[in-house]
Amino acid sequence: MAQLTTSFAGLSLKNPIIISSSGLTNSAEKIKQLEEAGAAAVVLKSVFEEQINQHAGSLNDYGSPEADDYLGAYVRSHALGEHISLIEEAKRLCTIPVIASINCYSDSEWEDFAVLMEQAGADALELNILSLQTDKDYVPGSFEQRHIDILCHIKKKVSIPIIMKLGTNFTNPIALINQLYANGAAAVVLFNRFYQPDINIDNLTFTSTNVMSSPCELADRLRWAAIASAEVNGIDYAISGGVHTGSDVVKSILAGAAAVEVCSTIYLNGNKEIDLMNGELAAWMDKNGYDSLQQFKGKMNAQAAGSVNPFERTQFMRYFSSHEG
């Protein structure tokens, strides 16, 4: 009988399916329903630094620095208070690990926020430092260093595991992951998704493309999880983006992940999808003679690929050589 238990960021999970930060995890009642449906852990709806600062800035019209500072502090305190209440209520109702989430881009007051989240009962903290670097005077490497600085400052204040959720906009994610591991990160999530802008050509307005992930996004996650788990194997990995089926969970673990973060497939198909994914995972394990996830975790990563490594291939040579006109 297949055992689906896994360890991720020092947390013991009953299976590898974590519900990622989203509207699915913005209330304790929803989280309880996810737990009953089979979810192993949840990442709470994030505290967004950008949104807090924008809200605070919209109120700063008094012309007084003191008043502006007070209003900004009030907005931040209110946003944080809601997150703290969510942590406390989720921990009261549920038994699965509850992971707090901060979506930030500056190295400011997040250390104190993290302390309060830990005190509220969060089992771990996921840091999402998602930002596009578009300044023409940008100093190469400074964005990566910001990740390390924020991690180090928060690590000094809390003892719960810190999970770093990365974007896809890095020249060499492996080098950054190695530095995050050296500075105490417990796990890395590959990858977050940027807001996808679009243009309406009928009325010349800005809009967005589909906010849901697509199964085709999984390939890029598998590539980097397979390479990273081979190169920096002392840290845990989760794959996020494109995981829609139990087969996708199997592929993720074969590539070296200990867990997956899912969201879009739950929005599209409902909480019942969690049980279906776990059932498909267990059936595959039984069919192939695996009793535990650990027996096949990383079995198809870059190290296992040997000298002919498909994960580092960048050209479609084999495909196009067989499709000559």
Q: Which residues contact 249 (CB under 8 A, 6 or more apart)?
A: 16, 17, 243, 260, 277, 280, 281
CATH assignment at residue 40: 3.20.20.70
Q: Is residue 216 a part of any domain in this protein?
A: yes
Q: Is residue 277 a part of any domain in this protein?
A: yes
Give kind and range of the element (H or E) at residue 239. Answer: strand 236-240
pLDDT confidence band for 107 (50 / 70 / 90): low
Q: Is residue 251 a part of any domain in this protein?
A: yes
Q: What is the pLDDT of residue 89?
A: 98
Question: Is the predicted pLDDT of residue 20 greater than 50, yes or no?
Answer: yes
**Domain hosting residue 122, numbered range:** 6-321
* CA 292 – CA 169 distance, rounded (Å): 34
The average pLDDT across 183-204 equals: 91
Q: Which residues pair with 166 in a beta bridge?
A: 190
Asked if omega into 48 is within 30° of 0 (cis), the reply is no
- Give percent of the chain above pLDDT 70: 82
Average pLDDT over the chain, rounded to an integer: 87
Q: Is residue 21 a part of any domain in this protein?
A: yes
Q: Please write the tens of the pLDDT for every residue from 22-39.
A: 999 999 999 999 999 999
Torsion 160-104-72-45 (CA) sign: negative
**Residues 218, 251 contacting (CB under 8 angstroms):** yes
Q: Is residue 132 a part of any domain in this protein?
A: yes
- Give percent of the chain above pLDDT 90: 67
Q: What is the pLDDT of residue 129?
A: 85
Q: Is residue 99 a part of any domain in this protein?
A: yes
Question: Is the predicted pLDDT of residue 63 greater than 50, yes or no?
Answer: no
The average pLDDT across 243-251 equals: 98
Q: What is the pLDDT of residue 196?
A: 79
Number of domains in the chain: 1
pLDDT confidence band for 68 (50 / 70 / 90): very low
Q: Is residue 1 a part of any domain in this protein?
A: no
The average pLDDT across 89-100 equals: 98
Token pair in block for residue 160: 């719960």
Q: What is the pLDDT of residue 105?
A: 64
pLDDT confidence band for 75 (50 / 70 / 90): very low
